[in-house]
Structure 1
Amino acid sequence: MRENGRRGSGRSSSRRSSSRRQQNEPQNSGFGLAVMGMMLLGVLFYQSDDLKELANPLIQKGKNFFSEVQGEQRGIDEVYAMPCMQANIAKILVHTLYNDEVLESSSSGIWYNKYYEVLESKEKFNYLTVDLAMQPVTNELASQIISDVLGDDYTFNLALSEEMLAQSIAFESFLEMYYQALITIGQAENVVIKDISIVKTPASYSNLEPLTVLTDSGIYSFSGLILDPLTDYTLEVAMVGNEILGIMQMIDTKSILEECYISKIDGDTVWIQFGDNEIAYQNKKLTSEHEGSVINLKVEKGTIIDFVEYMAGTIDTVLRITDSYIEFADTGKFSYNSDVNITDYTSSGDWHSFLNVSSGAKVDYTLENEAVKALRIIEKPSSETVRVVITEDGLGDYFHSQVQIEALADCELTYNDQTFSFKKGDVWDSELFEWVDDQNKLVVNAVNDGLLQLNSITRSSANPSYTGSVEVYKDVNGYTVVNEVSMNDYLARVIPSEMPPSFGLEALKVQAISARSYAVSRQTSSQFVKYAAQLDDTTASQVYNNVEVDELAVKAIKETEGQVLKYNNNIVSGNFFSTSAGHTANSGEVWASGETFPTSTPIYLSANQQYEGSSVVENMQSEEDLMEFFQLAPSEIDAFDDHAAWFRWEVFYSVDELSHVVNNSIERLTGQYSHVVKVLDSENNWQIQTVDNIGAVLDIEITQRGEGGNIISIVVVGQDATVEVKTEYAIRTLFAPIQKDSAEPPIQIFRADGSTVDNMTLLPSAFFSPKINYGKDGNLLEVTFYGGGFGHGVGMSQEGVRGMVNRGYTYKEIIEHYYPNSIVEKL
């Protein structure tokens, strides 16, 4: 629940004594041997379902083994001595010296294989081989390893007799020497020495993954160690990233758990919230009055033996965070200090600034001079409800000039801490309402599954209705409207807005899982927190409540209740789009990350073939191959999307039309998207510069394609300026086939089914090949774009889902196809 470690230069500034030995250490030397024996003999069997049955015999075998290996020699620490196996050394070397090269183990069940796979390529440590993985490290071998780490510039020898050099070294002793060696050569920056309290291990808490441990400061991995006997102990450990390398020392047989949120008290049992995990303890001290408090606890053997009440704060839920204030659900608005301290006590522990905090987060905050001084994150937003900011008509702005709410059933209206009845047929109007100064929030609750209709906006030529509650915030720019709704009701209004029910139940199940995954993953985003929301109702998130609820969509939601897309045990965004051209794109080759493009791509959003059989294209980044690919008729390729109108398309531009569409958007692109749209200067360097016109287009050149065939960089040579444009959105905007001169005929896009579409505000996709005809002067005369697909091309193709359903695939098979290496699991 706190980060005590500092990187590189030495020990952490801990809440506990810095003394390396405490008076309250256990005095039973057999305990250290028990842990040694379990580590030595238990690691290969660690994934057994019942560690308890293994523990006692392993402890006794461990005692016998070490009495034989060490004789009467106890090593550096009479109280706690962990054996040092060569496998542990392999892990430490790789995490500290070659952390970027850590591989996934090629042999299931053996935790150390991936480390030896890295060391095999390192000549310096080629004497460490996997066949000796479970052999103890002798003082002599430890000396050799430290010498090799230090290099030729240093001399290191243990001044020990031959007999002592042959003895095994204690883990603690090796870690201490190794850490000092890293400091000496300046490579200790990734190592953190910190105090942790062991809360639960997989042996006593089934929610944990194998070889992970729940501590007071988060969940960590601990392969090669046995921590079960140390539950509720306080340890000093060495770590790299999320991996515990080893125990430096045992500080206390009790835990001090700081700033614990007490979620429930029931007689002799107390439940404490550790991020997403709720852990029960026996209670000897707390009363029911402490429920909902933040308290410092002392724990021993699963029992709370003492406590100190934390400095009084206020527990509330974040609604909005703007540049000038934070608004809480119960206590209202407060300004905040520029240096406000934000601490994340959840399991992920990854919120450290206002850029992370999202609407709906439960927090404990403290004030200083009526301004928020500290914000402690207790719970991330619940996945049971969703907060959606509703856009107004027209340009889709988040501020409304007027709001009218009609009750379609008896409801309740809350304003200024008072609740009033809001009867069926009543209409509330923001312009007629008498607002009180500094009371700028009004909430209308639809009770008993009632509906609230927004008469001030239209969706598909009708006034949309909403379940849950509708919140109205009055601001200087107008009114913000937020709908807080249950997840299932939200999905019921997303799915038919995003996918036609005519696609069938199995397809709608895929859409349900994808939409649910997207919503849950975005609930922890701060993108819309200034509007008191987690998502919006447009394609910037997911289209919400544009059409009526469909019963088949409701059935799909129920039959996939709570199911989400996961990768590495984390819920991931289920990105989707309309139609593929026969191949999807890498996400990192579609969207920029800040100033960086292209970026890395998670495997579940990687480029993949979207047709049956062997590949019809040798190289999806070859211009020649792609020109042929994009001119294939649907009947010539067994693609999942081959039935869709947008599977293939083409658009023709004369030089005048191309110059017209490019110059329509170039000022906005060079101004607002300057990180991906650059202008060539007189010295042939790409620069940030706003231009309003590049003149007649003389040529275009594709300079880079993604692995899936999508264009990620294109250069347009104009008579007055040359621009380089990156990312699919900027490219689709640049060539948007729309004729804005009413005196000229519209620009037409021809589709695979023979139909045409006039004047589009975006090119259908960035999957296309330009066939250019040049004039006698060598400049572009006309061009035809042969392309395919509709949308960004990342993740799941909705038309592809339809095609896979028609081929007999199940919804889970479809999900696994579109999101490789992911799994479908319950929340």
Structure 2
Amino acid sequence: MDEKKKLINWTAGISTVIVALLIIIVVMEPRGNGVSRAAASRAIALTLAGEDAVRAEGPETSFFPGELQDQWYVKYMDYLYAKGYLDPETCYPSEGSAVSAVTYGELSGWVTAAKGEGEPSLAGYVTEAAGKKAGKAVDKAEFWEFYDAFRAFADPDGNVKEIETDLYGTPGNVDGASPWTAYTKDGKFLFEGLSLDSYIDKTIKLLVREDGIIKVQGVVSDEIVYENAWISGFSGNTVTVFIGNIQREFPVRGVLKNEEEISGQIGDLYLKNGKPSRLVLKKETITGTVLSVREDEIEIEGYGTVPLSEDFKIYRTYGVLKEQKKSDILVGYHMQTFVVAGDEICAALTTEKPEIDNIRVLLMTTNFKSLFHPEITLVCDSMAVLEYGDEKDKKTQSVAAGEPVTISAGDSRLESGRMVFRSANEGGMITVRNIERSQGTPVYPGHMEITGEEEGLLLLNEVDLEEYLKRVVPSEMPYTYELEALKAQAVCARTYAWRQIRGSSYSEYGAHVDDSTSFQVYNNTSVFDTTDAAVNETFGQMAAYDGEPIDALYYSTSCGHGTDGTVWGNDGSATPYLKAVSINEKRKPMDLTSNEAFGAFIKNMDVEAYDSEFAMFRWNAKTDSQILAEKIGGVGQITGLTVTERGPGGAAKALKVVGTEGSKTFTGQSKVRSVLGNTRLVFNRKDGSTYTEWETLPSGFIYIENQGTDENGVTAFTIYGGGYGHGAGMSQNGAQGMAKKGKNYKEILKFFYDGCEIVDIGDVV
């Protein structure tokens, strides 16, 4: 339903409320202080749109003079000027106008603007009635009564929400705080034009839209508890407390005597009317390797599964003190001290920089179909140990070399938690007999962990990171490639793995990654001397940008031009090192965003590129309306396909499908590739070979030609394409082409990841 229809369908009940409300406002004199036009404009603007939309939909040129354009209220009043809610002729854009009280005339104008042409009799009444004292200031209480009614019809989707939160601080009590920033237990909010200092250390109700506070509804309680706060210092009668990433000082005279009792601990600070009444320290701690992190519990080696308190906190206490997120707890590592109280973990203290040296991999079933196994059979080439049972009754079973151990779903040995199968000798290798890979039955270093889930058994391989990479690199790049290309792949793989270890994708299962293409393919092929050398010769090296490991994306083959980080629909600002440039020595961006330019480019078989000699550099396939109808419905007989939007480098971002009964548009490279792909298509590659059985197109770098409609009404299309993969980051075959031309691995990486540096894994925080 469009906006005009929504407004016309404004209910009679709401109309009655607004009419009655405006009658009250018009006939009564203001009873107290008014509301500034700036604050009122902000409230109305944020009711109509979010902060980003307010900025985007404002005028191209501000109504305000240049010297005022950095004032907080300008964007909101500009938005209302642009939308017709304020008239720059009668409400001149100036500082004086902004600080003046909003008037009755403006309230009636806002109702008229919000209603558009709907309910003309009400709009006429409001305009005529308000005209009797249009210039009079509106009393504050009356304005907020009006606002509540206005919000009821102007924000039917409930974007403005009421929340209850604790207010920690504002720029008034936080050194270095950003202007108009409120620190609460629910995060940071902007409170432009409001006064919040009197609400600090209270529980309050707020009206908010996204991260902007529109109004303080009231105080819920003047008694507050800062639970699980980090006590960072004690001097004399003053305690320094770290709350919500800010430092606060409180007088605690008579509570504790000396610094040794209090500093560097977790505690609950009780306040009433802003003054401390009690400080309860929590001194009991536990430590151990984290085995899994779930929504409301953490599994710790030696302690089993321990529940989290409702107000669980995480603090990094080394380097710069900061509050962290639960995702910062890395499974498989021992870098936190856990503070417990009442059989719950109330806080985690990250006491040291993580030394990333192991990775935990979930091994999928044959053909990577599932994470969950009905049965698992393990064999070690040396004496092995099987451990199971709870922490109080741990059982250890010796297993002879070559003796199989089989665990089935429902095995009683899993009732107390995970089972661990490890070699008793360093360097022992474990075969997983129930899995088949390209190399046959795979053999793994490290140890295995088995857990029982509702869906079946999970099999986890914890392995040294460098050993993992020796089985990733040959699975991702042919071992016959040039050593410098393999070394570039090894650095990419290590960087990618580091980010996944920190990312906690599978923390609920105690893992970092799985072994499929969803992450990096692991141990699908055998190890080779060449790929081992590539890993060894780049030991511990990663690619970083501004000191942070990059998102080391890679793909098989380019079309001669790459794309940037916008390929998945975001703005690309998080990956400035991914550039849309030609994949040749010139490394220049080309404008391939029009169908004409891209069509000429992709049909040119002689484009110069580092990977132009590879079969997938150019390809084409024929499809028709009947094949397309297997995935695309609702448009009748398909008669046309057009790429309506292309991203940097020419990758298709939007595809319009036209049929005899309508049209549809599909957006996003992955979606476009999926709807056009079909296992029946035959792909003709540059080297003259063909390939089929692809469910999706090899890439989104495509140009489509309509070949006409036959006597049966079937329309044929030719899809011209290039490359294999998403096109962002390193082309693996491009890396091979560069290596053949004498480029070393660092040159290759800096070509594909603009501005990156090669750093040691131990130097990254």
TM over 0.5: yes
Does the alignment pair 1:464 with 2:442?
A: yes
Alpha-carbon distance, 1:322 to partner: 3.5
State the AA in 2 paired with 1:425: G
CA distance in structure 1 between the partners assigned to 2:654 and 2:624 by the alignment = 22
CA distance in structure 1 between the partners assigned to 2:699 and 2:610 by the alignment = 17
Does the alignment pair 1:420 with 2:392?
A: no
SS in 2 for 1:548: coil
Q: Deviations over 1:317-361 (max 9, x none)?
A: 322233564322221123445543344446587875445544235
Does the alignment pair 1:608 with 2:568?
A: no
Query: Is the 1:404–1:428 Cα contact (8 Å) retained in structure 2?
Result: yes
Correspondence for 2:416: 439
Query: Is the 1:360–1:380 Cα contact (8 Å) retained in structure 2?
Result: no
Q: Deviations over 1:418-456 (max 9, x none)?
A: 333332101110039952474131111233111001001
State the AA in 2 paired with 1:441: R
Does the alignment pair 1:387 with 2:360?
A: yes
CA distance in structure 2 between the partners assigned to 1:705 and 1:778 by the alignment = 33
Correspondence for 2:744: 810
SS in 2 for 1:514: helix
- Residue 693 to residue 406, structure 1, CA distance change in 2 (3 Å): farther
Correspondence for 2:648: 707
- Alignment length (residue pairs): 545
Correspondence for 1:568: 546
State the AA in 2 paired with 1:315: T
Q: Deviations over 1:26-82 (max 9, x none)?
A: xxxxxxxxxxxxxxxxxxxxxxxxxxxxxxxxxxxxxxxxxxxxxxxxxxxxxxxxx
CA distance in structure 2 between the partners assigned to 1:819 and 1:573 by the alignment = 9
TM-score, normalised to structure 2, is 0.62
Alpha-carbon distance, 1:151 to partner: 6.1
Correspondence for 2:292: 320
Query: Is the 1:584–1:606 Cα contact (8 Å) retained in structure 2?
Result: yes
592, 608, 612: which one pairs with 1:638? Answer: 608
Query: Is the 1:699–1:780 Cα contact (8 Å) retained in structure 2?
Result: no
Correspondence for 2:599: 627
- Residue 341 to residue 152, structure 1, CA distance change in 2 (3 Å): same
175, 186, 189: which one pairs with 2:192? Answer: 186
Alpha-carbon distance, 1:546 to partner: 0.3
- Residue 331 to residue 236, structure 1, CA distance change in 2 (3 Å): closer
Correspondence for 2:21: none
Query: Is the 2:553–2:729 Cα contact (8 Å) retained in structure 1?
Result: yes
CA distance in structure 2 between the partners assigned to 1:337 and 1:722 by the alignment = 53
- Residue 179 to residue 409, structure 1, CA distance change in 2 (3 Å): closer
363, 377, 388: which one pairs with 2:336? Answer: 363
Correspondence for 1:311: 283
Residues 446-485 of structure 1: matches in 2 within 5 Å?
Answer: 446=423, 447-460=425-438, 462-485=440-463
Q: Structure 1: where are the runs of 5+ without partners?
A: 1-120, 127-149, 156-171, 195-215, 218-231, 253-283, 287-292, 298-307, 664-691, 740-746
Query: Is the 1:612–1:638 Cα contact (8 Å) retained in structure 2?
Result: no
- Residue 546 to residue 379, structure 1, CA distance change in 2 (3 Å): farther
CA distance in structure 2 between the partners assigned to 1:516 and 1:500 by the alignment = 17
- Residue 697 to residue 181, structure 1, CA distance change in 2 (3 Å): closer
- Residue 548 to residue 177, structure 1, CA distance change in 2 (3 Å): closer
CA distance in structure 1 between the partners assigned to 2:483 and 2:359 by the alignment = 24
Does the alignment pair 1:341 with 2:313?
A: yes
Q: Deviations over 1:701-728 (max 9, x none)?
A: 2221111111112222345664332222
Percent identity over the alignment is 27
- Residue 651 to residue 729, structure 1, CA distance change in 2 (3 Å): same
Residues 640-789 of structure 1: matches in 2 within 5 Å?
Answer: 640-660=610-630, 662-663=631-632, 695-719=636-660, 722-739=663-680, 747-775=681-709, 781-789=715-723
Correspondence for 2:42: none
- Residue 653 to residue 355, structure 1, CA distance change in 2 (3 Å): same
SS in 2 for 1:765: coil
Query: Is the 1:390–1:482 Cα contact (8 Å) retained in structure 2?
Result: yes
Query: Is the 2:581–2:590 Cα contact (8 Å) retained in structure 1?
Result: no
After superposition, the CA RMSD in angstroms is 4.8
CA distance in structure 2 between the partners assigned to 1:514 and 1:629 by the alignment = 29
SS in 2 for 1:398: coil
SS in 2 for 1:430: strand
Q: Deviations over 1:447-498 (max 9, x none)?
A: 3111001001011151111111111111221111111111110000000000
CA distance in structure 2 between the partners assigned to 1:624 and 1:824 by the alignment = 39
CA distance in structure 2 between the partners assigned to 1:499 and 1:806 by the alignment = 15
Query: Is the 1:641–1:647 Cα contact (8 Å) retained in structure 2?
Result: yes
Alpha-carbon distance, 1:587 to partner: 1.8
SS in 2 for 1:405: strand
Does the alignment pair 1:407 with 2:380?
A: yes
Query: Is the 1:351–1:357 Cα contact (8 Å) retained in structure 2?
Result: no
Does the alignment pair 1:490 with 2:474?
A: no
Query: Is the 2:388–2:413 Cα contact (8 Å) retained in structure 1?
Result: no
Correspondence for 2:150: none
CA distance in structure 1 between the partners assigned to 2:354 and 2:565 by the alignment = 26
SS in 2 for 1:708: helix
SS in 1 for 2:290: strand
Alpha-carbon distance, 1:504 to partner: 1.7
Query: Is the 2:490–2:538 Cα contact (8 Å) retained in structure 1?
Result: yes
SS in 2 for 1:523: helix
Correspondence for 1:545: 523
